[in-house]
Structure 1
Amino acid sequence: MQFLSQNHGCPGWGGEMAGRIRSFDWSQTELGAIEHWSASLRSAVQVLLASPLPMVMLWGRQGFMIYNDAYAEFAGGRHPYLLGCAVELGWPEVAEFNRHVLDVCLAGGTLSYRSKELVLLRNGKPEDVWMDLYYSPVPDDDQSPGGVLAIVVETTELVLTERARQEAERSYRAVNERIQLALSAGPLLGSFVWDIQNDTLSGDERFSRTFNYPPDTPLDALPVEIARQNIHPDDLEEVNRRVELTLRTGTPYNAEYRVRRLGGDYLWVLASGRCEFDTLGRPLRFPGVLIDINERKAAEASLLKFTRDLEQRVAEEVHARLTAEEQLRQSQKLEAIGGLTGGVAHDFNNLLQVIAGNLHLLARHEPHNANVQRRVSASIEAVERGAKLSSQLLAFARRQPLSPAVYNPRRIFDGLGELLQRALGETIQIEVTLPAEPWCIHVDRNQLENALLNLAINARDAMCGEGTIGLIGENIVLDESSCAGKDIPAGDYVRLSVIDRGAGMPPDVLDHVFEPFFTTKTDGQGTGLGLSMVFGFVKQSGGHIEITSDVGEGTRAQMYFPRSRQPETGEEAPHSPLLTGGQETILVVEDNEEVRSASVELLEQSGYRTLTAANADAAMALLLEGASVDLIFTDVVMPGLIKSSDLAAWARVQTPPMPILFTSGHTRDIISRNHQLSPDTHLLSKPYGPDALITMVRTVLGS
């Protein structure tokens, strides 16, 4: 096969792709071995490789891809996996579009698109791109269409630049219209044009009189220095600053300053204008108008005389600002601690998974050894305690996967009453207060119930086990000032409060209550993670939590959740019995060898067949080679070019779709949005045991 040979003697046959095409094993595709390719295909590939434009050949009904160096650069991280791949597998997010291209062109038609908008996955995220696309059929040796030659030129930057240019033109026209309206207004003191290149000023008679130019001065040659000299010295620096800003950035010019009159007094004016630039971005002209604002300034001065409480108002504003800044610093500190604890919890979960998996396997290997079973049982209990601790850390770090739904607070309080009474004891009274029609909220019910339970237990301990705890729900509207420092927007909220009349907390304790591992209880009475977990959950749900307390008076914990206007979620239907089975093939994708080994053994002991891959790159290679699997069980965070979310996106567009089960110490927003899982995303959190693993596998396969 000499048409791609380095010794062929034809110029332009170098480059990376020529070598990759020569070395690729085409016998595994419908094209067959490269030495048996048709003359038509060889000629088309020669044209393609010689072109500096991104070009790709889609050969056959499946559109096996052959492309040049320019297209390889366009493909980014998908190169070189696209070579020899069917186009619908290589670009699953636009599979329907490419199928239409193949249908039309293999029937003899052509297609072209100018600035076609498509959504492509880049770096694991959907991205809007625009491209010029040209498709034409390539005849085989029998003159029937054998493939499609595509020219792909990305025009995203050009499209965005053109939109920006059009927006700038619209803005410029709007400014000109405003200037024209201003010229016809009543309190005008004239108009002017500054020729920046020649540093000359022209204006009308009213402008000339305002700046005290001599009557015989030509209106088209007004000295700039005279105008500057008549501006109040205290205002000149600010005027110059605003002029420089407009010349540098093109922002509209607006400056209020005083102009000296002939009698020596000063007149307040407003100067407004805009700078015009040439095609190279150099400032050319500066047209503007002068408006009399003397009466307005006099009115402002009169108003100040009657505002005797100004200092008090300023003091209140300063105090509010300092309070908001302190809340912000506290929030930033907790955010930094959360980032650290989340990372620690993730690595801790991987270690726990290795320990848990091997303990369960050991128990299965020694079913009749009572000593082994006793020690394994104690060890697994310790692992579960560690997993609970890790879960609390992830909750504080806002990296726990949530499953939110829309709930009425009355429904949550009704369902929680018996659990609260049992947990708090008979010596605690619970008073629930709700409005007649509480607003709905969008939350994870289990996490909210845990948060209320944590706050109620803290309240009980503060009252030494006796007294009344108030649970209050309120519909409230927060304005901008009420939201200062809370990191939430103004709007409608539901406030859920837990109130006690206990010992209360001093300010130095109150400042640290949300920090992980901070506790005022004696050793063995608490981990110091309860309030940290509540803080993380509320923030992750888009809300805010605050605690106020007075020593000897009691404590009030208030959680704010945004109002949801969606209909309330109905009660879940009882789960149907799990499907029986266990003969399917499962592809286990996990970069930690010890975790992978334990998971594989657990699955195989339950009757499943397994394939393994150390990352998503290796998994995709197995699948593209034709490996048949019934379920992909994959870790979320792994090294490699292909992300687990990309692997899942590919699996979901297969026919039929391939089920995906994720596992992770935490999601890191790769498979979730703000760690809120979509209904079609299945996640098994680490560490897990054999029962949880097999139950989840059967659930995903059954769905």
Structure 2
Amino acid sequence: MQFLSNTHGCDGWGGEMAQRIRAFDWSNTDLGSIDSWSTSLTCAVQMLLASPVPMVMLWGRAGYMIYNDSYSVFAGGRHPSLLGMPVEQGWPEVADFNRHVMSTCLAGGTLSYRNKALTLLRNGQPEDLWLDLYYSPVAGDDQQPAGVLAIVVETTAHVLSERLRQEAEGAYRVADERLQLALNAGALLGSFVWDVLPDRLSGDERFARTLGLSMDDVEQGLPIATATEIIHPDDLVRVSRLIARTLEAGGSYNVEFRVRRPDASYLWVLASGRCELDAQGQPLRFPGVIIDIHVRKIAEESLLKLTHNLEQRVAAEVQARSAAEGQLRQSQKLEAIGGLTGGVAHDFNNLLQVIAGNLHLLARHERDNPQVQRRVGAALAAVERGAKLSSQLLAFARRQPLSPAVFNPRRIYEGLGELLQRALGETIQIDVQLPQDPWCIHVDRNQLENAVLNLAINARDAMKGEGVIRITGENITLSPEEGSRNGIAPGEYVRLSVSDTGAGMSPAVLRRVFEPFFTTKPDGHGTGLGLSMVFGFVKQSGGHVQVSSEPGQGTVVQMYFPHSLEPESEEAPAQVMLQEGGRETILVVEDNQGVRAAAVELLQQAGYTVLTAEDGDDAMLMLRTGLRPDLIFTDVVMPGRFKSTDLAEWAKVQQPPVAVLFTSGHTRDVLSSNHQLGADIHLLGKPYSPDALAQRVRSVLNARN
């Protein structure tokens, strides 16, 4: 597992849990040392670390727990003690349940639960939880079930909301029953009779009390307009329209509205009656009753509000889950491609090194043969193009070695502006908008400049060589909601954007924009690796990249880099040309015979005494039997028990310390986390030239003094 060691083929991952898994002493468990983990286990753990959904792996018969960052949040106070613990010990309150899960899934079965009720002690106190649980067996290298993958989605909030909704519906039914009882039992607010032609409205005592009128006025009769004065203004038009319609057609009349009470509050009532017509169809009398429906209406309003809120929450949850699933699928797709391209680039670099080393040796041997020199030069130019292609593949796979430092974005652009203008041409205008006081970011400056240059060249091509390219920087703070919407952790970021007014991209093109070798340019006008390199670099730097585009509307590429609170790094002093040769003794440790032979001859031609070892085991045996070289020049990734880092540790404790220079086409996180090299680590990437080898060897040897 490349986030743990250099022995397997899964890609590397960052995050708190990846670091904790690397640091955990697994040799005390049945899983054994992390270096001995099976391919199936390492790849399964790598998958769950990439997932935004809470996931936990229960490995072996005991169900040793290995989980991701989202599950650590779910675990609450139980985290991080759950890591590496058998599941029955980790959650003793549900031991029987987990025992059933393990026995079922290790026998090849699967289990799933919807809104499973469990009582867990996540923070020292019993909590009633509801969970969606999915358990599936995970096959070991022998294709037999070796572990159980559990997906844990807490649905407590949804269950409690559903209960509230059901309670509100119950209240609505009770209120409706009360209304029926009121109608049947005569629990009325009064009765009335409206003689339509003389416009005389009369009623009983309860009716007078409801309208806030004196009994004398009601007995004598009032104009209908007096009674309608107490109707709520928002209901008056609707009530008046229904009265007019009933007067015209006759028949029954039922309407709900609010009336103003003497204390200025409003009461929901139901007016129910019937309009009687004469032989000519003219309205005569309009008797009816007023019924109190206030309790029912309040219950209905509460139910409607609760239902609306519940619908919004369900829609938001469905949208968030759908977005998370889409991001996970895209992430898994790019990770799979990255794992393949990274491995290919590593082997490709070794081949290029053999070719380049022998070409350089041939050129030196045939100095006076112009035909040989011309053909060697052409071949070396092809090697350089291949090396650039390999470098771009490693960038996409997030396996390029980085040398990050803390920079102010303004300082980065000051050194990039002239280069951009030369690369883009005079017909392109560059509009740069950076804040006066931008936050600092922790990045590899050279790689960031390459990323901006790639994006600017893409923008120029999209505008067919004419127009304005805008490069903007912003200090932004993403809320949890914005972070979830953008698929990025909330917090403070510097957002660097490159935008154009070119042809734009269709949704189908946009979905594939980060895939290596995917391009819409004509043959010979691009490799399709520019955006892939940008994607890999930003992700490897702990950031996030987004592309938004529509046909005919141009394209905007946004790179998010976390705000660094560290002080800005000092400018590195200019490199002084060093003497290329020497007489020291160098131990070359390289498992590839072709690479080793070329490196030995190049170093010998520079005057060094050279000894060789085929792998770390061979080298360590030589060192422990008394060999004391001045420098160890070692490949990073080699077979055998002893790794290149073991040789470096041996060299560090010698008196005086022995210098170490690493070389690799792909470091696989052996030297550091996420390929970010420390100041004390010297790395020469493959393929390298004789001059680069001589300069770097001399530099590392001189640094000892």
- Secondary structure at 2:673's aligned position in 1? coil
**Alpha-carbon contact 1:661-1:684 (below 8 Å) kept:** yes
Report the CA distance between 1:661 and its aligned residue. Answer: 0.3
Say whether 1:305 aligns with 2:179: no
**d(CA) in 2 for partners of 1:580, 1:350:** 24
What corresponds to 2:419 in structure 1? 419
Report the CA distance between 1:570 and its aligned residue. Answer: 1.4
Within a 5 Å distance, the mapping from 1:234-633 to structure 2 comes to 242=117, 252=126, 254=128, 303-307=302-306, 309-310=308-309, 311-312=311-312, 314-484=314-484, 488-579=488-579, 581-633=581-633
**Alpha-carbon contact 2:476-2:492 (below 8 Å) kept:** yes
Report the CA distance between 1:550 and its aligned residue. Answer: 1.1
| Matched AA of 2:471 | L
**d(CA) in 1 for partners of 2:508, 2:120:** 50
**d(CA) in 2 for partners of 1:432, 1:441:** 18
Judged with a 3 Å threshold, the aligned counterparts in structure 2 of structure 1 residues 238 and 409 are, in CA distance, closer, same or farther, namely: closer
The farther-off stretch of 485-494 and 468-477 is 485-494
**d(CA) in 2 for partners of 1:474, 1:349:** 38
Report the CA distance between 1:415 and its aligned residue. Answer: 1.5
- Secondary structure at 2:619's aligned position in 1? helix
**d(CA) in 1 for partners of 2:579, 2:370:** 33
**d(CA) in 2 for partners of 1:677, 1:164:** 31
| Matched AA of 1:557 | V
Larger RCO of the pair (alpha carbons < 8 Å, separation 6+): 2
Judged with a 3 Å threshold, the aligned counterparts in structure 2 of structure 1 residues 255 and 663 are, in CA distance, closer, same or farther, namely: closer
- Secondary structure at 2:648's aligned position in 1? helix
Structure 2, unpaired ranges of 5+: 1-32, 37-63, 65-79, 97-112, 131-162, 172-298
**d(CA) in 1 for partners of 2:322, 2:630:** 59
**d(CA) in 2 for partners of 1:641, 1:426:** 57
**Alpha-carbon contact 2:582-2:608 (below 8 Å) kept:** yes
How many residue pairs match? The answer is 443
**d(CA) in 1 for partners of 2:488, 2:501:** 29
| Matched AA of 1:683 | L
**Alpha-carbon contact 2:439-2:563 (below 8 Å) kept:** yes
**Alpha-carbon contact 1:470-1:498 (below 8 Å) kept:** yes
User: Aligned Cα RMSD in Å?
Assistant: 3.4
Judged with a 3 Å threshold, the aligned counterparts in structure 2 of structure 1 residues 298 and 556 are, in CA distance, closer, same or farther, namely: same
Judged with a 3 Å threshold, the aligned counterparts in structure 2 of structure 1 residues 378 and 296 are, in CA distance, closer, same or farther, namely: closer
**d(CA) in 2 for partners of 1:477, 1:246:** 35
- Secondary structure at 2:563's aligned position in 1? strand
- Secondary structure at 2:675's aligned position in 1? coil
**Once the two structures are superposed, what CA deviation does each residue of 1:666-703 show, in whole Å capped at 9, x if it has no partner?**
11011121000010000000111100000000010011
**d(CA) in 1 for partners of 2:472, 2:580:** 46
**Alpha-carbon contact 1:327-1:485 (below 8 Å) kept:** no
- Secondary structure at 2:654's aligned position in 1? coil
**Alpha-carbon contact 1:589-1:634 (below 8 Å) kept:** yes
- Secondary structure at 1:411's aligned position in 2? helix
Judged with a 3 Å threshold, the aligned counterparts in structure 2 of structure 1 residues 314 and 254 are, in CA distance, closer, same or farther, namely: closer
Within a 5 Å distance, the mapping from 1:43-122 to structure 2 comes to none
**Alpha-carbon contact 1:124-1:646 (below 8 Å) kept:** no
Report the CA distance between 1:124 and its aligned residue. Answer: 8.1
- Secondary structure at 2:477's aligned position in 1? strand
What corresponds to 1:101 in structure 2? none
**d(CA) in 1 for partners of 2:316, 2:81:** 43
**Alpha-carbon contact 2:352-2:386 (below 8 Å) kept:** yes
| Matched AA of 1:622 | M
**Once the two structures are superposed, what CA deviation does each residue of 1:628-686 show, in whole Å capped at 9, x if it has no partner?**
21000000111111111111111111111111000011110111210000100000001
**Alpha-carbon contact 1:459-1:469 (below 8 Å) kept:** yes
- Identity level (%): 66
| Matched AA of 1:604 | Q
Report the CA distance between 1:486 and its aligned residue. Answer: 5.3
**d(CA) in 2 for partners of 1:460, 1:546:** 19
Report the CA distance between 1:436 and its aligned residue. Answer: 1.9
| Matched AA of 2:646 | D
**d(CA) in 2 for partners of 1:693, 1:396:** 26
- Secondary structure at 1:429's aligned position in 2? strand
Judged with a 3 Å threshold, the aligned counterparts in structure 2 of structure 1 residues 575 and 347 are, in CA distance, closer, same or farther, namely: same
| Matched AA of 1:593 | Q
**Alpha-carbon contact 2:165-2:303 (below 8 Å) kept:** no
Report the CA distance between 1:585 and its aligned residue. Answer: 0.2
**Once the two structures are superposed, what CA deviation does each residue of 1:397-432 show, in whole Å capped at 9, x if it has no partner?**
000000000001111112211111111111111111
| Matched AA of 2:304 | K
Judged with a 3 Å threshold, the aligned counterparts in structure 2 of structure 1 residues 409 and 342 are, in CA distance, closer, same or farther, namely: same
Report the CA distance between 1:554 and its aligned residue. Answer: 0.7
Judged with a 3 Å threshold, the aligned counterparts in structure 2 of structure 1 residues 601 and 655 are, in CA distance, closer, same or farther, namely: same
**d(CA) in 2 for partners of 1:488, 1:656:** 47
**Alpha-carbon contact 1:474-1:496 (below 8 Å) kept:** yes
| Matched AA of 1:444 | D
What corresponds to 2:294 in structure 1? none
Judged with a 3 Å threshold, the aligned counterparts in structure 2 of structure 1 residues 656 and 323 are, in CA distance, closer, same or farther, namely: same
**Alpha-carbon contact 1:443-1:541 (below 8 Å) kept:** yes
- Secondary structure at 1:553's aligned position in 2? coil
| Matched AA of 1:252 | P
What corresponds to 2:673 in structure 1? 673
Say whether 1:699 aligns with 2:699: yes
Report the CA distance between 1:501 and its aligned residue. Answer: 0.8
**d(CA) in 2 for partners of 1:246, 1:358:** 66
Highest CA radius of gyration, 1 or 2?
2
What corresponds to 1:642 in structure 2? 642
Report the CA distance between 1:593 and its aligned residue. Answer: 0.9
Report the CA distance between 1:331 and its aligned residue. Answer: 1.6
Judged with a 3 Å threshold, the aligned counterparts in structure 2 of structure 1 residues 336 and 255 are, in CA distance, closer, same or farther, namely: closer
**d(CA) in 2 for partners of 1:619, 1:637:** 14
Judged with a 3 Å threshold, the aligned counterparts in structure 2 of structure 1 residues 447 and 295 are, in CA distance, closer, same or farther, namely: closer
Report the CA distance between 1:483 and its aligned residue. Answer: 2.2
**Once the two structures are superposed, what CA deviation does each residue of 1:561-584 show, in whole Å capped at 9, x if it has no partner?**
000000111111222442565100
**d(CA) in 2 for partners of 1:616, 1:684:** 18
**d(CA) in 2 for partners of 1:459, 1:344:** 29
Judged with a 3 Å threshold, the aligned counterparts in structure 2 of structure 1 residues 462 and 305 are, in CA distance, closer, same or farther, namely: same
**d(CA) in 1 for partners of 2:344, 2:479:** 38
**Alpha-carbon contact 1:124-1:643 (below 8 Å) kept:** no
Report the CA distance between 1:295 and its aligned residue. Answer: 11
**d(CA) in 1 for partners of 2:607, 2:511:** 54
**Once the two structures are superposed, what CA deviation does each residue of 1:380-411 show, in whole Å capped at 9, x if it has no partner?**
00001000000000000000000000001111
- Secondary structure at 1:674's aligned position in 2? helix
| Matched AA of 1:542 | G
**d(CA) in 1 for partners of 2:81, 2:313:** 43
| Matched AA of 1:627 | L
What corresponds to 1:115 in structure 2? none
**d(CA) in 1 for partners of 2:597, 2:129:** 72
**d(CA) in 2 for partners of 1:511, 1:654:** 54
The farther-off stretch of 613-622 and 577-586 is 577-586
Judged with a 3 Å threshold, the aligned counterparts in structure 2 of structure 1 residues 585 and 326 are, in CA distance, closer, same or farther, namely: same
Judged with a 3 Å threshold, the aligned counterparts in structure 2 of structure 1 residues 630 and 330 are, in CA distance, closer, same or farther, namely: same
**Alpha-carbon contact 2:634-2:644 (below 8 Å) kept:** yes
**Alpha-carbon contact 2:589-2:633 (below 8 Å) kept:** yes
